[in-house]
Amino acid sequence: MDNFLQYLVSGLSIGSLYSLVAIGLVVIYRSNRILNFAHGDVTTAGTFFAFFMLSSNFSFAVSAVAALVFGALIAMAFYFCILVPAQRRDATQLGQIILTVGLGLILQGAVQYFGGTEPQSFPFPLSEYIVYKIGVVSLSQLSLGTLAASLLSCFLFYLLVQKTRLGLAMRATSENLPAAQTLGIPTRRILAISWGLAAGLGVVAGLFLAPALLLDPFFMLEPFLKGFAAAILGGLNSLPGAIVGGLILGVAEALTGGFVSIAFKNSLAFIVIILVLLVRPEGLLGEEFKERV
């Protein structure tokens, strides 16, 4: 039982980061109906930007905020400079998805050029080796900080979407773009902000994953795939589903790695997703998407 609780809490910690990645993917899908395959690479670029600032003796707080802004600006610039012109030329959804793949490849090359290809340790104020005992569960500073930062980010994003005029505009735009335009909502600006917020959430996940994983140009590849799987599991059009999907996936990985095999944990997690999608293709909390005309 003690081991079960330990694996459960550890799974919730890593699963909360998968949730942040999944929320970013869902935000873009709800607003543009496309899958953003550059999401992990934007996160990597933002995390490397924080690493460069830390190496220049900036404080972690300043570096983290700058990284969030940098990642958001990349995403917003891509939307305004690439995606909007493509949409004006009636680019298909598949074509727009390919554009995100291209952005990801460009960012990979830039990160390798400026940051190198050798894995590097990411300086972080919380330690993975200082451990606190809470009942029968042991948690490192990094795990506690990860869980707290992820929950706080999700809560703040919920308040933004549900309790502010900007959130109302985002919901209206994602629900019915033509109607939102008719009501005078600046939909292009709202969609750009959605891209920026999605990138910011991804960078938060990257900042907490980097000290646990060595920092290299591809360190976000596996977390991005897990976040993508979490989004599908919870429902690609459901923000609560993204959170639930990430937590389920993290706990499934931890329990499988602890009680079955480390080598098998990734496979079992995706088997669970396949079984869920066979029963409910729209995901656990998702709804079947219907285009309004």
pLDDT tens-digit readout, 177-187: 888 888 888 99
Give which of 188, 189, 203 is closest to 71, Cα–Cα: 203
Helices (H), 89-186: 93-115, 141-163, 165-175, 177-182
Assign 280 a pLDDT band (cuts: 50, 70, 90).
Answer: confident
Residue 60: what pLDDT?
94
**% of the chain residues with pLDDT over 70:** 97
Residue 288: what pLDDT?
63
Assign 293 a pLDDT band (cuts: 50, 70, 90).
Answer: very low
Residue 25: what pLDDT?
94
Residue 203, pLDDT > 70, answer yes
Specify which residues 137 forms β-bridges with: 134
Give me the amino acid identity at 50: A
Tokens, residue 142: 């990094």
Compute φ and ψ for 134, nearest 5 degrees. -120, 95
Give which of 38, 3, 43 is closest to 20, Cα–Cα: 43
Average pLDDT value over all residues in the chain: 89
Tokens, residue 173: 């735009």
Helical (H) or strand (E) element with 47: helix 39-55
Q: How far apart are CA 83 and CA 106, in angstroms?
A: 15
Q: How far apart are CA 133 and CA 140, in angstroms?
A: 9
- Using DSSP's 3-state secondary structure scheme, residue 178 falls into helix
Q: How far apart are CA 141 and CA 74, in angstroms?
A: 31
Compute φ and ψ for 133, nearest 5 degrees. -100, 120
Residue 277: what pLDDT?
77
Residue 1: what pLDDT?
66
Tokens, residue 260: 């079955």
Q: Burial, 268: exposed, middle or buried (Cβ in 10 Å; 0-12, 13-18, 19+)?
A: middle
Tokens, residue 31: 């607003």
